[in-house]
Structure 1
C-alpha cells in the first residue's frame, strides 16, 4: 500500500510533458547502508523508460570501472557526470570541462599547507592530500578502508574534471573564499563538497541534453537528496526530494517522498500515476 507522500506543492502550473527523468545516484538510488540499488527503484525505472528518457545526474565519474555495474543495471539514455563537468549520450561526449592545471596546483599547495583533505578516485587509486583522514572517514562509515593511495599532485599530468573536499562546512567556506573561481557544491550543510569549475552544475549538464533532444526543463522530472541537486530540482518541471534529503532540498522540491530504504522512488512515481 502506498504510504502518504510527505509534501506535494506543485509550484509550477501548466501541462508537464515529463519526457526526461533524471536521477541522482547516491542515497537516491544507491543505499549506502546496503551498498545496493533499491529493487523497487530498479523496477520503477524499467517502467518509466517505456515513455521517458532516463538520465543519471551524479557527482560520480561514471566512466570508472567501479561504476560500470550501475550503468549496466540502469541502462541510462544519458549521463551527467561529476556535477556537469562531463555530459554524454550513449557514450558520445557532448561536453566536458577540466579544472585548469595552474588552479589545481594552487589548491593542492594550499591544501597541503593547511592540512585540508581533498581527493579524487581514478579507478583503483585514491589521490589525496590527507590519506589518514580518508582512512578515518571510510572506517567510520564502512568499518574498514581498503583503498590504494597516491599523492594528489601525481594527477598533475592528467586532466581533472572535479575532486572532493572532505571538510566541515566552516572550512569549505574558507576554501571557497580563497578560490572563488571554483564551485564548492556541498553534500550536506555540514560536511563535504564536490569541487568543480564555477559555472557548472547538474542543471547546466541537463541543458546540454535538453538542447540535443529539443526539450525544455518543464519536460523534466528530477530526483535527488543533497545540495548538489539543488539547481536541477529547482529548474525541473517537477523536483522530487527523497525523505532522507537535506532540509534545504526538501524546501524547494515539489514532492517530498519517503526515504531511499522505504521505496521512496516507487511511491513518488506511483503518486504521479506514471507507473
Structure 2
C-alpha cells in the first residue's frame, strides 16, 4: 500500500478510500472495486466512516483493507444523495454505540435532472434505527480536533450558482441547491485536513468555512469530491483560489471531471486517489 507521509513523527491519521468512481491499479491479490459514489474511512483519535457509496462496494473494499466497520465510532453523511447514502443497506450491525452525524436536510425528497428520485433510501429510518442520530445545521465537534461543518455558507460568486436538481416543498417542485451539503475538518499539528463528499456548496466555500470552524488558516490536505463538472470559469476561479490561499496537497475525486483533474494537476500540488488507495498523515 502506498504511504504518503507529510512529516516525520508518530502517525496521527489514516485515510482509506473505500469507494470512488475509479479503482486503483496494482496488486492482483486485492482487486478493489469502484462505482459512482464515495466512501472514506478515517482512522484517527476516533474511527469515522464518511459516506457509504451506492452499494456494498465500501464494505467489500473495507474487508480487503482489513477494516472492521463494526468498530466505527461515527457515521457521517455529507449530504442526502443516493450515491453517498444507499450503502446504508449494507452497513454491518454492531454492538457498539455508533452515532450518525448529518445535516437534517439529508431527508429532503429530491430528484435528479432526469426527474428520478435521488435522495436517501426510502427505508432510511429502518436502516438507521440502531444508530444514535445527531442532526445539526451548525458545526458539530466530534472530538477535540475533528469537526462536522454543518451547513456551509455560499459566500463567493463562482460556486453553487445554478442547479439542475429539484426537491419537493409543499407538494411543489423547487430548485434544490443541496443546502445539506457538508464536510469534515480535522486539525492536525501541521494544518487542516478537509474531507469533502461532493462540495455542492463549492469546494472553496467549504474550505473557507472549515478554516473558520477550526480556527486556523493553514490547510494541509483537501480530499474528496470537488464538484467541478464542465464549468471552465469555475475551474479557473478555483485554481486561482488555491494559488492565493495555499494548500499542501489536493486529492480530488468522484464528482471532478477530467478537465478539472488535469487543470488542478497541471497547476497545483496534486495526487489522484481511487478506491483502494490510502494516505497516512504523520504528526
Q: TM-score, normalised by structure 2?
A: 0.35
Structure with more of its chain in helix, by fraction: 1
TM-score by length of 1: 0.36
